[in-house]
Amino acid sequence: MKSEKVVERTEINYKEQLERDVLAAMAKPNRWYWVALGFSATCFLIGLISWGYQIKIGMGTAGLNNPVGWGVYITDFVFWVGIAHSGTLISAVLFLFRAKFRSSFNRTAEAMTVIAVMTAGLFPLIHLGRVWFFYWLFPYPNQRLLWVNFRSPLIWDVFAVSTYLTVSAVFFYVGMIPDLAIVRRLTTGIRKKIYGILSLGWQGSLSEWMHYNRLYLFLAAFATPLVISVHSVVSWDFAMSVIPGWHTTIFAPYFVAGAIFSGTAMVVTLVIPMRKIFSLEKYITLDHFESLAKLLLLTSLIVTYSYIVELGIAFYSGNVFETAIFKYRMMGDYKILYWIMISCNSLIPLLVFFRKVRRSLPSLLIISLLANVGMWFERFILIVTSLAKDFDPYAWGLYKPSIIEAGITLGSFGMFFTFFLIFTKVLPVLSMTELKEEHE
């Protein structure tokens, strides 16, 4: 009888402690938070100023030229859509697979997804030039009764990314409702009112939980094919063309794996400092990181497999254009970036095979940062080299990003981290209800 009481007391202690710790993360920020926010916001501002300058002066301020009409902006777009992937992967796919380690990361990953898709969504607009005409992309006839070209993969992208954003945002919000109700209970004043509205009057009754669980499962099942589809569509922006190095059937699964790789790396990059700053060591353990590191390794291996297959088949086919583009990537003007890409995406992640490495947070942080560098370069290499040297040597040309493109890229990172920092202060960073459930 006595031991039962002790167990009960420990349970209550864990739950109270968890709520306290998560609420503490949402409390008044310290100086370091303001420094981080200030830095991110400055970068964001630099991005906005650069974009403003580009709008005022024109697209000539970007380094884009003929033949390289797609450069850093499209690289950034693909990079951020990729980052957006693992949010839904960790949340939805791992939920369906009943992988319990997800509950320590899912909230962060979902927030990251929503913010990354928002960031990604800006790039087609930035790339558009006359951004005020962006609504022409909507599928309804304009004044001259012209429809968008449904056979263009670029318009598929508009559908894919906006669907993904909608579903990810709904999934993020629905998953948070019970936690918002906890925050409502533990706060006072205006905050209580705001969280009261946000939690939609959640009372935690049996009937509410039944409906909630069904909805969550449904959304997870609905979001899973979307994870695959959205980056497949992004890959088809390239694969539907006949440009050497782009037109290849493996692109869709390869892009999805690459996206999950970079997204998982970003989760590791964000969660390691967050765990330290908000003292969440008790809830995000080394075992959790180890599982995430294994996911990183798996996706890195798939990406490496794709590199090998692409290269191997190019030489197998004997097609001169395919062979030439892969030789150019390895030994041409952008070779340094290519080998950085291979090192960061294929070679360095192999260290995760060692248990010591995958259980060491500093090493994981370095590997994940390098993975993101590698994935950015991968997209750059893929986009720029194929355009720089396609079929006709007369039309070849090189591309060098301009300072404005660099500013806008910096701004996208600034935007991402600014929004993420705001998220950590206004919404619960851990899924309290799930962690409680797991603890039981």
Partner 1 sequence: MQKLRMNSTGLAVIFLVVGTAIVILEVLVAGAQNASLLLTLVFWVALAEGCIALVAAAELSHAQWILPIKRALLSVYPIILFISILFLFLGFKLDIYPWAAKQNAWLNKPFFLIRNFILLLLAFLFAWKFAVESGKESEKKNRYAVLYILFFVFSQSLVAFDWVMTLEYPWFSTLFGGFFFVESFYSGIALAGILCVWLLKQSTEDSDKLEKTLKDTATLMFGFALFWVGLFFAQYLVIWYGNIPEETSFLVTRLSDPVLGKLSPLVLIALFVAPFTLLLPQRSKSRSGLVQAMSMLIIAGIFLERLIFLIPVVSLNPFLVILEFLGLALLFAAVIANRHWLIRQS
Q: What residues make contact with partner 1 under the rule CB under 8 A?
A: 96-97, 99, 224-225, 228-229, 232, 236, 239-240, 242, 247-253, 294, 305-306, 309-310, 312-313, 315-319
Q: Which CB atom, from 279 or from 319, has the smaller least distance to partner 1?
A: 319
Nearer to partner 1, 77 or 101 (CB): 101
Measured from the CB atom, the residue of 330 and 373 that comes closer to partner 1 is 330
Tokens of 255: 């892009």
Smallest distance, Å, CB 328 to partner 1? 18
* C-alpha dihedral sign at 391, 397, 398, 402: negative
Which is closer to partner 1, CB of 318 or CB of 393?
318
58 Rama class: left (phi>0) / alpha (psi -120 to 50) / beta: left
Measured distance CA(372)–CA(262) in Å, rounded: 6
> Shortest gap between Cβ of 35 and partner 1 (angstroms)?
40
Are 114 and 83 spatial neighbours (Cβ–Cβ below 8 Å)?
no
Q: What is the closest distance, in whole angstroms, from the C-beta atom of residue 95 to partner 1 in the complex? A: 13
Q: Name the residue with tokens 């590199």.
A: 307
The distance of closest approach from Cβ of residue 212 to partner 1 in the complex, given in angstroms and rounded to an integer, is 17
Is 117 in contact with 80 (CB distance < 8 Å)? yes
> Which of 78, 121, 91 shows the shortest CA–CA distance to 384?
78
Question: Which CB atom, from 113 or from 248, has the smaller least distance to partner 1?
Answer: 248
Smaller CB separation from partner 1, 60 or 225: 225
H/E stretch holding 202: none
Residue type for position 228:
I
Quote the CA–CA distance of 229 and 432 in Å, as a whole number.
Answer: 30
Q: Which CB atom, from 81 or from 183, has the smaller least distance to partner 1?
A: 81
> For residues 252 and 421, which CB has a smaller minimum distance to partner 1 in the complex?
252
How far is it, in rounded angstroms, from Cα 367 to Cα 261? Answer: 11
Taking the complex as a whole, the smallest distance from the CB of residue 413 to partner 1 amounts, in Å, to 31
DSSP state of 148: P
For residue 138, the minimal CB distance to partner 1 (Å) is 23
* CA-derived radius of gyration, the chain: 23
- Whichever of 294 and 436 has its CB closer to partner 1, that residue is 294
Distance of closest approach, residue 301 Cβ to partner 1, in angstroms:
8
Quickly tell me which residue has 């440009």 as its tokens.
243
| CB of residue 24 to partner 1, shortest distance in Å | 32
The least distance separating partner 1 from the CB of residue 222, rounded to whole angstroms, comes to: 12
Amino acid at 40: S
Question: Which of 292/415 has CB closer to partner 1?
Answer: 292
Contacts of 318 (CB under 8 A, 6+ apart): none
Q: How far is the CB of 239 from partner 1 (least distance, A)?
A: 5
Whether cis (ω within 30° of 0) applies to the bond prior to 67 is: yes
Distance (Å) of CA 286 to CA 86, 111, 271, 360: 19, 22, 12, 8
Whole-number Å distance between alpha carbons of 284 and 48: 35
Q: Which residues of 85-99 are buried (b: 16+ CB within 10 A; e: fewer)?
A: bbbbbbbbbbbeeee
